Structure 1
Amino acid sequence: MPTHWRYTMKKIDTPIYALEADAALLHVKSSPEGLSSQEATLRLERDGPNRLSEPPKESALKRFVYQFHNVLIYVLLGAALLTAVLEHWIDTGVIIGVVLVNAIIGFVQEGKAEKALEGLRQMLASKATVLRDGAWSEIDAALLVEGDVVRLRSGDRVSADMRLLEVTGLRIEEAALTGESVPVFKETKPVREEAGVGDRSCMAHSSTLVVAGRGVGVITATGPRSEIGRIGTMMLEVETLQTPLTLQMEAFGKILSLAIIGIAVCFGLLGWWLHGYGLEEIFLAAIGFAVATIPEGLPAIMTITLALGVERMARRNAITRKLTAVETLGSVSVICSDKTGTLTCNEMTVRHVVTPKGMYGVSGTGYAPVGEVQFEGEAVVLEDHPVLGHFARAMALCNDADIVQKEEKWELVGEPTEGALRAFGMKLGVTPKAKRLGVIPFESENKFMATLVEGEKREIFLKGAPDRLLERAAFQWGASGLEPLDKAFWEGQIEALSFQGLRVLAACAKEAAADQEILGMEDVQEGMVFLGLAGIVDPPRPEAIEAIKACHSAGIRVVMITGDHGGTAMAIAREMGITSERVITGEEIEKADEVSLREKVLTCNVFARTSPEHKLRLVKAFQAGGAVVAMTGDGVNDAPALKRADVGIAMGIKGTEATKEAAKIVLADDNFSSIAAAVKEGRTIYDNLKKAIVFILPTNGAEGLVILTAVLFGLALPLTPLQILWVNMVTAVTLALALSFEPSEPDIMRRPPRKSGERILDGVLVWRIGFVSVLIGGATMGVFFYEIHEGVGLEVARTIAVNTLVFGEIFYLFNARFLRTSSLRKEKLFSNPVAWVCVGILLVLQLVFVYMPFMQFLFASSALAWKHWFISLGIGMVIFGIVEAEKALMRRLYM
């Protein structure tokens, strides 16, 4: 057995990125000549194709059936079954119709099932250049296996995870996978075992993009075993939590259903014991009570309110994929945000330039040549700063990128860092044209690029890592011309820029011989003139800074979780107003157990060099502490955490398809400030849902009280079950719907987030529901028995009772629009015009109910004289006044 094979066997537990290249080949049982076709076929049969598994799909039928999964709906279906057994077919049909309307509304609004894994699969390469049987050939990437030797070139999408064996200026864009804001320079040297995905410089990962150079690597993992495959597996395993509203409504529905069923059974038995009701009468009375007290319109109004919120958020560039996510935003207490492309522009920008004269500030963001260069607070006139102009010229001529304007947008063609340097020169008006005679391309071993150009004279320019250029420089520009290099000065400036989280590049130049035609390494070894430094950063979005302030005012904690380096993360965090005692890295997260991690997240707001697993663990740690978490991101590495978060928010422009499909909300403008607007919308929706509940339940309470009183005293029912259903539905889809259009309360973004376990109704609102139920129910019974006493027929008396109930609800709507404050102010009375439109629609429906023959047949209603309408109107006005007096009393007692 060869020595290096024995070495590999000893190191079998060592990660492949920590092995030397030859040991890595042996580890996957391959060689520099690749595999034979026969061996590749055997491995393909063993490991399966290089693709991700199909995502589980939910059928439309299953999603429709799920709309009936509500305890209140179960009680209604039970009532429909009993009426069918008793052959009361009209009652059965109306109840079933109400249930189906609710289900259809929910089904249409919920939309399509998630396609997270489909989005991941679309990112995989379709073709690969592989070495088999000693020859290079292009094959379907799905046929790649572990041990295949694959070639990479600029523009290729990496087809599988691979250990690099050869590299020549290889740079790979890994932002979607790691959060790294600039392409990563690759090399073949192994890295330490503890290195995270973003630090594995000898690896190329599936789905990432080669932006420059070339390389050869051996496949180490395919399909579900690759890094992107692991993310797909994580997404399948991630548990999606129920939203706070869903949990509250489920608990509320269970308590209400148990109470309704218990009371219905008790008073049915009382009717049998006190008044000798037969079995059918007992069942009909119990069904009447159940139908009366169940807020069957509530699921529909909840769905419609959320759907209206979705529409309003879409106008603010927030596309909602899950209805309940709209409301959940209103209870968010922690926003975990990715840095690159979310809080930042994902467009590199020169922020500072240092020349021997001093430091310059550069304004503007991204690749648009908009902004100015300032020195000591004043805009630079280039004639007064010749060295700055020479520096900008060097950076422009030692550069392979270009910036082009398409319509009103400036776009980069090339590498982001070089694009930033191009934009900087254009801000100064420096766009030099010169013939390039020679070039030394960037190599990871050298960490610089050099060009030989011919303009007015022949010059050599050098651009790259400052330490490498300082080694080759002997001079710098001073006030009186060339002077010896002050190395200590430049090292201090490099340290100062790096401390700010900036990526630092340097530029050098020297004059070439007039007849020089070729550029070699010996030409840049010494004697260069050091021109200056550029500090480059992916800058924060200005609007995101304001959005973070708004979130802080609303009591929401903003946390940065990024795959980028700690220094860069902390610098951006400080600039954005995210305060943190320190940065916690992925290594620390890896070592921490669940308990200690929960303690760490209490004080730290910046997490760097994080992997998808780390982001997922952090979201879980926040949730374990009782937080309602929103997670934003744009890369594949964010997808599992987005799915686990209470609200996952993806970037719509620069976000990957996998990220969008894992999220509940997609920002169409990639603007963090849209989140603050969405939080406000979510809080408004919750307020309006609470108003709808406080409005709807007294209707049911009043109806239940009417039925209960009639049964207990052996009286004729003032309302039939079908008339009750009519009132419930028409008031829900008109009056309750009007509450969905209520504007935001003035203090809505100055309140702290509501607690996830907070009851949807507090003691004051529970009291009001009971108080108004007695008020409206008592008025309805009073009118009914008064009219019976006056000698009108049963159908007429019941129709008047229905009208009284409806008018009581109309006036109570204006009470419910403001739960705490008075409604007796003109600006409040007309602040929601939809409410008045809905009142008009309801009055038309009541006219149809009272006077149309087919409605009289279905609901046993009867035509009324005009005086009966004025009785109901007067009672409604009295109810409004009494409730306003009660609100004033409660304000005095509890506020």
Structure 2
Amino acid sequence: MAKYNSRKMNNAAKKQAATFCIEMASAERHQETLARLESSEKGLLEKEAQARLAAYGPNAVAHDNAPPALVQLVQAFNNPFIYVLMALALISFFTDYWYPLRAGQETDLTGVIIIVTMVLLSGLLRFWQEFRTNKAAQALKSMVSTTATVLRRTVSNRDGEKREIPVEELVPGDIVYLSAGDLIPADLRLIASRDLFISQAILSGESLPVEKYDVTGHVQGKDVAADDIPDDSASLLERGNICLMGTNVASGTACGVVVATGAKTYFGSLAKSLVGNRTQTAFDKGVNSVSWLLIRFMLVMVPVVLLINGFTKGDWLDATFFALAVAVGLTPEMLPMIVSSNLAKGAIVMARRKVIVKRLNAIQNFGAMDVLCTDKTGTLTQDTIVLEKHLDCHGRDSLHVLTLAWLNSVNLSGSQNLMDKAVLASGQAALSPSIQSGYFKIDELPFDFVRRRVSVVVEGYGEHQQTLICKGAVEEMLSVSTHIREGDTVYALDDARRDAYLCLTRQYNAQGFRVLVVATRELPQTGLDHPLCVADENGLIIEGMLTFLDPPKASAAQAISALHEHGVTVKVLTGDNPLVAACICGQVGINRREILTGDVIDDMDEAQLAAAVERCAIFAKLTPLQKSRILRALQNNGHTVGFLGDGINDAPALRDADVGISVDSAADIAKESSDIILLEKDLMVLEQGVLTGRETFGNIIKYLNMTASSNFG
């Protein structure tokens, strides 16, 4: 195994894309992954692990370092217009001081002092404002500054032993053990798991944990062949046999083999896109455009004035000085100072409105923004799951169904998901204390990804001694049900009733609801005489359904309408499914006639995408890089684009936008990538920011108009 070291790795392997490493592992069985990595389920030899650490480097991702104060000071003066002013100050020094001094004439440094003072005040004001709000982008580093439990072998212990090591020392081929609350320290191919749910919100933006596969083929002790190869068309976040660095374990346990570390992870590929120089924003391009316009105008006017004055007066030296004086006179010397002071004033005004400005140029971009791209969860919605309806099999409100669901959720001993919490909240408010206390739990069968349902047995509810209450996904519940309750009558679940009920549930799915079915079975008078098992989940009676929704914020529709009145088009970029996105967007007034998904966007060339981003307002099932591609398409179409996001999955788009907007509760790397941070995740705050940005821009334009007319006059 020692042969697997840096000498064996060729350059192509070192440059292998992060997504390729984990994609390859997800498309093969775990035995094949172990063989390819020259590892085993007993772990790596300690000596081999050290060799691989030397070959691959530490398990750390790229990150930005905060520039020293001196560098920030220099960057504050890095402006083409300031270069012009400094050149003119140098010219003024020679024409108004050095040459007259040598000629014994009266000298005048007033012009030089004014120009230099304006340049210094402008640069220092910009430096101080940005220095106070600039933070080091250490979020990515801090996320992996923990330990991991790995299985390592030694010469004396060939079976391996578990040990805690810093995650920076993980290498491909390591066997890692996971439990609830653990951060995934690298890209992993699962080997074994039990009731494993992974929270991928930091990458996908969606709050519900995702179920992951037990690739040994045993879930809760059931004989299930779960080591299936996922569909190649599925995104990495949708593949059940892998875990990605940066996500965390919501519940369950697992072990997996490390496939990629550091920059080669999916997380690391996002980090690399955030390091380095930002792309030019609309304001940067505008400043450069004005500066070059003035330079070109002076390059034309100075020779013309020089030639006219030289030929008419014959004194070419005097004509040269006069032409240079004209160049100085044409320049609006106070422009940098006016721009910086207006931007600083705008930052102060926005701070009073609970908006922190990290980059002053972003204020003008805020005002110039004509397209705002935003995520859905937590921005348009409340970022919480709410039980909207509890319905019988005819689609009518039913307290009976809520009672059954509440009894199921309240008796779960494991971690409760957001849907269970929503059921408990609704039940607490709607059910009488006698119902809540008139029973006790006998047994439970937890949820798993194969069954997609959860069951409890309670005593004291209904006429029978013990009742099995089961809730779960629609298809999985129908597969173990034989009857359906319609009113007070129970009917056999024949094909006609099954199809009718499926149609009813799909109607709610189409409206963006997540649907769970509730069913029961009355146990014999003798009660449950064995531990509850999967075989007991049969012959169920369907009682009704639960519909869940992450509801829109009350202010969302009003804010979108206000932004539209100010000429800002709102587009939604989300990782959620199209039906849910369309439902929420329809409720807040966003056009939902056409929805583009990530896989469709991947099949488009640049020309097709450029046309699509103009007509479409909702983009769903997106990866972080697809979000960035949409932003660039809008920018290439001439739009000034803002992006509002709060997850790591939003960080590349935040950096690529003309103005990146995040919130104080966002992932640290999202805040580091943004230009503006909102202290409240509310679109109404954005409206005020747009108005402040436009007011600032208007003041700058007024100065340009005034000085241009007077100077040219």
For residues 587 and 186 of structure 1, the distance between their equivalents in structure 2, rounded to whole angstroms, comes to 22
Write the letter of the residue equivalent to 1:319.
I
Q: Which residue is equivalent to 1:545?
A: 557
Q: 2:600 aligns with which of 585, 588, 610?
A: 588
For residues 394 and 355 of structure 1, the distance between their equivalents in structure 2, rounded to whole angstroms, comes to 17
Distance 1:503 1:399, change over 3 A: farther
For residues 49 and 143 of structure 2, the distance between their equivalents in structure 1, rounded to whole angstroms, comes to 24
Q: Which residue is equivalent to 1:27?
A: 36
Shift of 1:657: 0.8
Pairs aligned (count)? 654
Q: Which residue is equivalent to 1:678?
A: 689
Q: Which residue is equivalent to 1:419?
A: 421
Q: 1:660 aligns with which of 667, 671, 678?
A: 671
Structure 1 position 118 matched with structure 2 position 102: no
Distance 1:116 1:578, change over 3 A: farther
Shift of 1:258: 4.8
Q: 1:622 aligns with which of 634, 654, 664?
A: 634
Greater helix content: 1
Q: Which residue is equivalent to 2:194?
A: 168
Structure 1 position 246 matched with structure 2 position 284: yes
Counterparts of residues 43-192 of structure 1 (less than 5 Å): 43-68=52-77, 69-71=79-81, 72-82=84-94, 83=96, 85-86=98-99, 87=101, 88=107, 90-91=109-110, 92-111=112-131, 118-124=138-144, 126-133=146-153, 134-187=160-213, 188=215, 189-192=228-231
C-alpha contact 1:437 1:453 (8 A) present in aligned 2:
yes
Deviations, residues 829-853 of structure 1 (Å, cap 9, x unaligned): xxxxxxxxxxxxxxxxxxxxxxxxx
Task: Tell me the SS of whatever aligns to 1:339.
Answer: coil
Structure 1 position 693 matched with structure 2 position 709: no
Distance 1:90 1:77, change over 3 A: closer
For residues 354 and 303 of structure 1, the distance between their equivalents in structure 2, rounded to whole angstroms, comes to 60
Shift of 1:510: 3.6
Structure 1 position 491 matched with structure 2 position 493: no
Shift of 1:652: 2.3
C-alpha contact 2:21 2:264 (8 A) present in aligned 1:
no
For residues 116 and 101 of structure 1, the distance between their equivalents in structure 2, rounded to whole angstroms, comes to 25
Deviations, residues 431-470 of structure 1 (Å, cap 9, x unaligned): 7245434221111111111223345654332221122222
Shift of 1:177: 0.5
Deviations, residues 122-147 of structure 1 (Å, cap 9, x unaligned): 22361111111111111111111111
C-alpha contact 1:127 1:138 (8 A) present in aligned 2:
yes
For residues 470 and 13 of structure 1, the distance between their equivalents in structure 2, rounded to whole angstroms, comes to 35
For residues 63 and 274 of structure 1, the distance between their equivalents in structure 2, rounded to whole angstroms, comes to 49
Distance 1:580 1:418, change over 3 A: same
For residues 253 and 683 of structure 2, the distance between their equivalents in structure 1, rounded to whole angstroms, comes to 36
Structure 1 position 649 matched with structure 2 position 654: no
For residues 15 and 209 of structure 1, the distance between their equivalents in structure 2, rounded to whole angstroms, comes to 22
Task: Tell me the SS of whatever aligns to 2:469.
Answer: strand
Deviations, residues 334-355 of structure 1 (Å, cap 9, x unaligned): 2222222222222111223221
After TM superposition, the score normalised by the length of structure 1 is: 0.68
Deviations, residues 546-582 of structure 1 (Å, cap 9, x unaligned): 2222233333322222112222222222222222443
Task: Tell me the SS of whatever aligns to 1:669.
Answer: coil
After TM superposition, the score normalised by the length of structure 2 is: 0.84
Gaps of 5+ in 1: 1-10, 361-384, 402-412, 702-772, 774-895
Q: 1:194 aligns with which of 233, 242, 245?
A: 233
For residues 314 and 396 of structure 1, the distance between their equivalents in structure 2, rounded to whole angstroms, comes to 44
For residues 325 and 607 of structure 1, the distance between their equivalents in structure 2, rounded to whole angstroms, comes to 25
C-alpha contact 2:384 2:550 (8 A) present in aligned 1:
yes
Q: Which residue is equivalent to 1:331?
A: 368
Deviations, residues 99-158 of structure 1 (Å, cap 9, x unaligned): 322221122223369768522222236111111111111111111111111111111111
Task: Tell me the SS of whatever aligns to 1:154.
Answer: coil
C-alpha contact 1:508 1:528 (8 A) present in aligned 2:
yes
Counterparts of residues 736-885 of structure 1 (less than 5 Å): 773=713
Q: Which residue is equivalent to 1:858?
A: none
C-alpha contact 2:186 2:260 (8 A) present in aligned 1:
yes
C-alpha contact 1:579 1:605 (8 A) present in aligned 2:
yes
Question: Which 10-residue stretch deviates more, 267-276 or 250-259?
Answer: 267-276
For residues 606 and 277 of structure 2, the distance between their equivalents in structure 1, rounded to whole angstroms, comes to 17
Distance 1:539 1:552, change over 3 A: same
Distance 1:193 1:473, change over 3 A: closer
For residues 675 and 198 of structure 1, the distance between their equivalents in structure 2, rounded to whole angstroms, comes to 31
Write the letter of the residue equivalent to 1:419.
K
Larger RCO, structure (CA 8 Å, separation 6 or more): 2
C-alpha contact 1:396 1:422 (8 A) present in aligned 2:
yes
Shift of 1:231: 0.3
For residues 268 and 334 of structure 2, the distance between their equivalents in structure 1, rounded to whole angstroms, comes to 45
Task: Tell me the SS of whatever aligns to 1:79.
Answer: helix
Shift of 1:30: 1.6
Structure 1 position 227 matched with structure 2 position 253: no
Gaps of 5+ in 2: 1-19, 102-106, 154-159, 216-227
Structure 1 position 463 matched with structure 2 position 471: yes
Structure 1 position 207 matched with structure 2 position 246: yes
Distance 1:414 1:195, change over 3 A: same
Structure 1 position 601 matched with structure 2 position 610: no
Deviations, residues 643-673 of structure 1 (Å, cap 9, x unaligned): 11111112322x2111111111122111123
Q: Which residue is equivalent to 2:538?
A: 526
Distance 1:357 1:600, change over 3 A: closer
Write the letter of the residue equivalent to 1:439.
E
Distance 1:278 1:595, change over 3 A: closer
Shift of 1:34: 1.6
Write the letter of the residue equivalent to 2:418.
P
Q: Which residue is equivalent to 2:156?
A: none
Write the letter of the residue equivalent to 2:614.
L
C-alpha contact 1:649 1:665 (8 A) present in aligned 2:
yes
Task: Tell me the SS of whatever aligns to 2:183.
Answer: coil
Shift of 1:330: 2.2
C-alpha contact 1:12 1:27 (8 A) present in aligned 2:
no
Q: Which residue is equivalent to 1:391?
A: 404
Task: Tell me the SS of whatever aligns to 1:211.
Answer: strand
For residues 509 and 304 of structure 1, the distance between their equivalents in structure 2, rounded to whole angstroms, comes to 69
C-alpha contact 1:158 1:206 (8 A) present in aligned 2:
yes
C-alpha contact 2:404 2:469 (8 A) present in aligned 1:
no
For residues 14 and 140 of structure 1, the distance between their equivalents in structure 2, rounded to whole angstroms, comes to 25
Structure 1 position 307 matched with structure 2 position 344: yes
Write the letter of the residue equivalent to 1:25.
L
C-alpha contact 2:382 2:551 (8 A) present in aligned 1:
yes
Structure 1 position 557 matched with structure 2 position 569: yes
C-alpha contact 2:63 2:140 (8 A) present in aligned 1:
no
Write the letter of the residue equivalent to 1:175.
A
C-alpha contact 2:126 2:360 (8 A) present in aligned 1:
no
For residues 351 and 585 of structure 2, the distance between their equivalents in structure 1, rounded to whole angstroms, comes to 29
Write the letter of the residue equivalent to 1:256.
L
Shift of 1:275: 6.7
Distance 1:230 1:619, change over 3 A: same
Give the aligned CA root-mean-square deviation in angstroms: 3.0
For residues 66 and 475 of structure 1, the distance between their equivalents in structure 2, rounded to whole angstroms, comes to 73
